[in-house]
Structure formats: C-alpha cells, structure tokens
Amino acid sequence: MQAPINNLLEKGHLTKLPSLPSVLAELLASINSDNVSFHHLSELVNKDPVLTAKLLAVGNSALFYRPQQFTSVERVMITLGLNLMKTIIVAAAVQQFFEQLSHGMRIDLRRFWRQTLSCATSAQALASLTGYHQPNEAYLAGLMCNLGQLVMARGYPDKYSAIMELGDDASVTVLEMEQFEVTHGELGATIIDGWQLHSYLADAVRYHHEPAPQVTDAPHPVKILNLASGLSAAAVEGREPPFEDAHVLFGLTREVTHSVQKQAREQTAEVAAALHLDMAAPPEPADHVHRGPMAKAAREQALLGAVHQQLKHASDLESLGEAIFHCTNILFGLEPQVFLHDAESNSLTALPLTGQDWRAAEMNLPCEGSDSLVVHAFRSGELVAELAVGADGAWPVVDRQLCDMVGGEGLYCIPLKGESVNLGVPAIGTNPSRQPMLDEIRPLFELFAREASEALQRFHNRQNTRIVETDEVESQFKARIRELVHETNNPLGIIRNYRYLLGSQMESDPQAQENLRVVQDEIERVAGLIRRFTEIEIEEEVKPRAVDVNQLVGDVTRLIEPIIAGSEIRVESDFDEAMPPIVTRYDLLKQVVLNLVKNACEVMEQGGSLTLATQDYIYWNDRECIEIVVSDSGPGIPPHVLANLFKPVPSTKGEGHAGLGLSIVKNLMDELEGFISCRSSEKKGTRFQLLLPRDIGDEKGELSGQ
C-alpha cells in the first residue's frame, strides 16, 4: 500500500494544496499590522486545514525537534518567530494564486471547508462533553480529517471530482480504494505520521470513517473524531445526525446529539460570516486562466521574493544554514542536509543544525578522491540526481547513510555556486514517486539555489572584509604603540643620564647612592613595562552573553547614588520581573543606560523624579523586543536640540561637556541592533525608550554578574 500512498503524496504535495482565500487574505492583512499577535494569527490559521498542516509540518521538522512534538498551532508560531511566519504565509498565498493558473481542482472548496470546520467544532464540543482532557487536540483532529481528500483532488482532479459527487461517505471510501488503493483517511494519517506526534491524532484521522461498533474500544480521541465526522457530514448533507452511533460510542441521547450538531453549525456560520463567505452561493467554476510561461515565471519570482528576507537576515553561518533549510521546507516541503565547502581542508562538511540527525556532525567528504554524489555535484557544478536502485556500481556507504538521514531511496544534489568557486551542496532525499515532482520544480529549485548561493557569497565577502579591516586596525594599532614607545624612550634616556650625573657628583654619600640605585631600578622597571606594549595584540572582541536586564539597570542605580546624594532627586523603578535574560553585550548596554541616567540627573538641578522601567514582549520592526525606559521630570530638551538629538553638537550643559553623549548612545544602540527614541516637553520632562532584540539564546549562557 505504501507505493500508492507515495504516488498520491507526490502528485498532491502539501505545498500545492489550496487554503481558503479569505483566511489567506485576513492573514496577509494581519501580519503587516503593528499590533499583530501570535494568538490572533493562530485563531485565523485554525480555520484552515491546509495552513494548519503546513505549519505543523515546519514546526515538527527535524530543525525544531522537541521531546514532545507540537500539536498546538500557537506554540508552533511562537517557536518559528514572526519573520518565518510571514514567509510561510506569503509563500502559501503566492503558491495558491499561481497554482490556480495551471491546475483546476474540480471540487467545491467552500463545501469542503464547511464540512471540515463543522467536524472540528463538533470534535471540540464532544471532547468537552465526554471529559477528554485535550479539546484543542480534538479540534485539530477534525481540521485534519479530510486532508487526504485535498491531496487526491489535487493529484487527480477529474477522477476524484467524480467520486466526490456521490456525497455518501461509505461510497466515497469504497471508490477511493478501487481507484487509488488507499482511502483519504489513510492518506491523511500518513501525512500526520510524518510529524512524529506523540498523540492519537493520526489514528483518529485513519479510522474516522470506520463503522461505530468497530471503534467502541478504541482510544477516546479516535471515537470522538469518528462521531464528529458523522455529525458534520449529516449537517452538510441536510440529514439527521447519526443518533445510533452517538449512543454506541458515548451513550448520548438524541437531544444531546442534536445540541452538539447545532452548536457546531452555529460556530461554523459565525466563522463564515466573519470571513465574508456566502455558503449558499453556487460552486465557483473551475479556473480556465491561460497556463502560459509568463504565469510560471511570475510564480517563481514571487516565491523567491517571499523567502528572500529569510536569507538576507541571516547573520552567521548557522543561521544561514537554518534559513536554507527553512526555505527549502516552505517552498518544496523537503528537508535538506546542507554541506558547505571548507577551503582549508578542501572538503565538504555537513552543517550541523539543531535537531537534525546526529550523524551529520561527523560527515566530512574530501573533495578529491571521494565518489559521493554530493562531491560529484560540487566538483561538476551541475545538479546530480540518482536513485540507489538501478545505479551503476555499488553506492558509497556515505551516500547510503545520507539517504537514510534525509529519508529517500536516492539523492538530489544541487551545487551552490559562488563568484569564483563553488560554496556547497544541499542534498535532498528522492524516490521513484518523488522524482517527477522534483523534475517539475527543477527550474524553481535552481533559482532558489542561486539565491542561496548569493546569500552565502555575501556572508563570505563580509567575513573577508572583516578580516582585512581587522588586520588593518591591528597594524595601525601596533604602529602607534611602537611610535609611543619610541617617543617615551627619549625622556627615559635623559632621566638615566641625569641619574648617572648625580651619582658621580655624590659618590661620597652612601645614602644618596642607595637612593639613586632605587631610582635606577624603578627607571628600568618602567622601561620594561613600556617595552611590553610592543607585544600587545588586539583585544579579543567581547562576545554577547546572557544578561539579566533588570539586574543591569539596578546596578546602574547603585552607581549613581554618590551623584545624587544630598539632592532632591527621587529614583523609582518599575521592572518586569518575568522578563528572561537576553543575549546581548553587557558592557555596551550598561554604558548606554549609565549615560542616559547621568544625563537625567545632571539636568534636574532643582530635584525631581527619575524613573527606570523594563517591559518584556514589545513588537518593533517585525520582531520581538524588550524595552528599557529612562524618564525624568526635568525641564525637557529644547526643540532645536531635539531635532538633532543623536548628532554630535555643542553641549547644552556648559563648559567641560563636548556634546557627544547621545551620539555615542545612538552608535552603541546600533551596534546592539536596537532602537532608541525620545519624547520630551517642558511640562512632562524627557523619556528615552530603548528597544533590544528579545534573543533568549539557548538558555546556556551565564547571567551577568554571576
């Protein structure tokens, strides 16, 4: 049975399945809102089975492996982050729009959606009614129950539309077995099995059309979905609920069963109204738009635009590897193993990504003398695809291991080409059923590989530029040190000469000679210390670490106590105690806060209040941040100064101040990849807001001060 399932899954791949257009429209509008929240996005996604399946597939991929996999859409979203969420939503919208240009699905998607959502709400209501402890998981099972139908309709639109016209679930499953050797329940369960969930979700989907007497001893969620499926089908087809099944499975009366069906019908109608869906309208005609090459090219460029930001924002090699992994998964539904070229050893090393097969960390393929397909693709600069079955000669063991790691019967390897040399190779698992799909998407895959290559080349160029700049700075630093040492030796030489002159003039005074000897020893010690400056190297860059922001701000308040002692300045604090440590530069952040606090104290000559506050979960520029606020009740900043606040200008504090403080603060915040803003008025004083990326790292960093 596995061969028919594989064939259907490749023809109706998850990346090609349609979502409800109104849900996609709402999501596209929501992700660009300043007040977007994961809770709101998850409520929208939970209305569409295909988007839910896509998110769960990405969230439960190898890169996000957890001991207990995700069955909650909101938890998946929080883990993926807002930027990756945007990429998935935009890619889904682009995929759907252009798929409609080339493929007509002959089923009424509104009817399908109505029955699916009715099943989900029925399952949730039954879970609460019968005491199942995870009603949200029951809802998810209902949302996924007919996913296999979309796969069949996408792969064989004409053949499956004829089956769907029968309407009767029993007849549909019989014909599915005759035509495809598998039912849509088994097909949907196979997709869910790939997510490796520790739940009965797959079994519930697999058996949701079994006769009720055959599932009376099954686990609770299997029985819930079985009854919910019957209730939703009856509601859509306008017939009576399956009272006998409700009694057999849960002992429900006719009145209670009617109540569950009515509740599901009302909730479905509410959602349809919110999404402006006219469920009574006739089915929309199949799309007959011209399938020209221009539509295909536009689709490819739009999809590449959707993933471009993911590649562009990668700041280091690991995040770039993760971006290539994510984008391959989002665009094609595939999980690659990424190999990068190590010029020093002239070998291809597998980029170890969190959650991927542990064997990847040990893979090192020499570029000379290896028969691996990965190396062959790298050396030739051409795409290489081969199945193990039927391959000429025995496959190298390393390729057989790689097949096992990427889940295939063969390998599909495409080189990442740099400006003058090849940079690496992503390897994907393939099999006889998947190969036609890979051949179909090859042009898009090659365009994506070019985009990934350019991102990788930009990273290497930045690294090389940084090395050159560091060498130049180090060379200039050492030259300046040598110059200072040389200049310092001149006065030291004069001091030595005068010491000898004094010694010859005071030969008869033993105490004076002893004192001069001590002077000579100290002169030589200073000379030795100065000579050591010529051996100084550039100090290693201070690395980011886990910083308790509340503790840091508290430390600053203690540092200013001597400054405000005896004044009328009151210090107040309002810290978000639940805020976790963030990964940042402790030294730079402390300098920023200290500068702002000192400025505030200096302007409140007649006294006033200084308030320091922190807040977790602030959204800025499409990312999660933490907030630090420094505010004072001073006289405010004059408008002409406020207009050039972060530029070096003459200071308003009087003699002894250069006016560089806030320009330095701005530069430090830029280095921290943060944002600073200021509001000031004569009546309300001045308020500085600092926003920093909410990077909580892997929770292995030490807290500052520990």
Report DSSP letters for 470-497, one per residue.
HHHHHHHHHHHHHHHHHHHHHHHHHHHH
Give CA–CA dist 100/93, Å, rounded: 11
Give CA–CA dist 121/111, Å, rounded: 15
Asked if pLDDT for residue 699 goes beyond 50, the answer is no
Name the residue type at position 469. E
Give CA–CA dist 277/270, Å, rounded: 10
Give CA–CA dist 109/150, Å, rounded: 9
Token code pair at residue 404:
């096992």
For the ranges 505-514, 530-539, 547-556, 562-571, the lowest mean pLDDT is seen at 530-539
CB 334 within 8 A of CB 353: no
Q: Model confidence at 548, in pLDDT bands (50, 70, 90)?
A: very high
Burial bucket for residue 362 (CB in 10 Å: 0-12, 13-18, 19+): exposed
For the ranges 16-20, 311-315, 430-434, 520-524, the lowest mean pLDDT is seen at 16-20
Give CA–CA dist 6/181, Å, rounded: 11
Give CA–CA dist 203/214, Å, rounded: 14
Write the pLDDT tens digit of every residue in 641-658.
888 887 765 544 444 333
152 CB-side CA count, 13 A: 28
Q: Which of 636, 632, 633, 630 is nearest to 574 (CA)?
A: 630
Asked if pLDDT for residue 446 goes beyond 90, the answer is no
CB 410 within 8 A of CB 431: yes
pLDDT of residue 293: 47
Helix/strand/coil for 620:
strand
Helix/strand/coil for 355:
coil
**Segment 515-532 mean pLDDT:** 72
pLDDT of residue 178: 85
Between 459 and 493, name the one with better pLDDT.
459
Q: At what angle do helices 49-59 and 21-31 cross, to 10 degrees?
A: 50
Whole-Å CA distances, 600 to 180, 607, 640, 690: 74, 10, 18, 15
CB 176 within 8 A of CB 156: no
CB 571 within 8 A of CB 557: yes
pLDDT of residue 657: 36
Q: Model confidence at 298, in pLDDT bands (50, 70, 90)?
A: very low
DSSP state of 349: E
Between 7 and 79, name the one with better pLDDT.
79
Helix intervals (H) in 275-316: 293-312
For CA atoms 449, 453, 456, 458, give the dihedral sign. Answer: negative
Kindly calculate the radius of gyration of the chain based on its CA atoms and give it in whole angstroms. Answer: 34
Q: Model confidence at 249, in pLDDT bands (50, 70, 90)?
A: very high
Between 351 and 347, name the one with better pLDDT.
347
Asked if pLDDT for residue 99 goes beyond 80, the answer is no
pLDDT of residue 136: 78
For the ranges 167-181, 270-284, 457-471, 549-563, the lowest mean pLDDT is seen at 270-284
pLDDT of residue 498: 77
pLDDT of residue 577: 93
Asked if pLDDT for residue 91 goes beyond 60, the answer is no
Tell me what the pLDDT averaged over the chain comes to. Answer: 77
| Bridge pairing between strands 675-681 and 685-693 | antiparallel
Whole-Å CA distances, 441 to 65, 104, 446: 27, 18, 9
Q: Which of 75, 693, 623, 17 is nearest to 309 (CA)?
A: 623
Name the residue type at position 361. A
Between 271 and 663, name the one with better pLDDT.
663
For the ranges 186-195, 201-210, 671-680, 693-702, the lowest mean pLDDT is seen at 693-702
Write the pLDDT tens digit of every residue in 304-338.
555 666 676 667 777 788 888 877 877 777 788 88
Give CA–CA dist 313/319, Å, rounded: 9
pLDDT of residue 256: 92
Write the pLDDT tens digit of every residue in 354-412.
666 677 777 889 998 888 999 999 999 888 888 876 555 578 888 888 888 888 888 88
pLDDT of residue 692: 94
pLDDT of residue 69: 54
Helix/strand/coil for 288:
coil
Torsion angles phi and psi, residue 138, rounded to 5: -65, -40
List residues bridging with 626 in a β-sheet: 692
Whole-Å CA distances, 231 to 218, 244, 413: 19, 11, 48
Name the residue type at position 100. Q
DSSP state of 687: E
Q: Which of 187, 166, 290 is nearest to 237 (CA)?
A: 166
Between 366 and 269, name the one with better pLDDT.
366
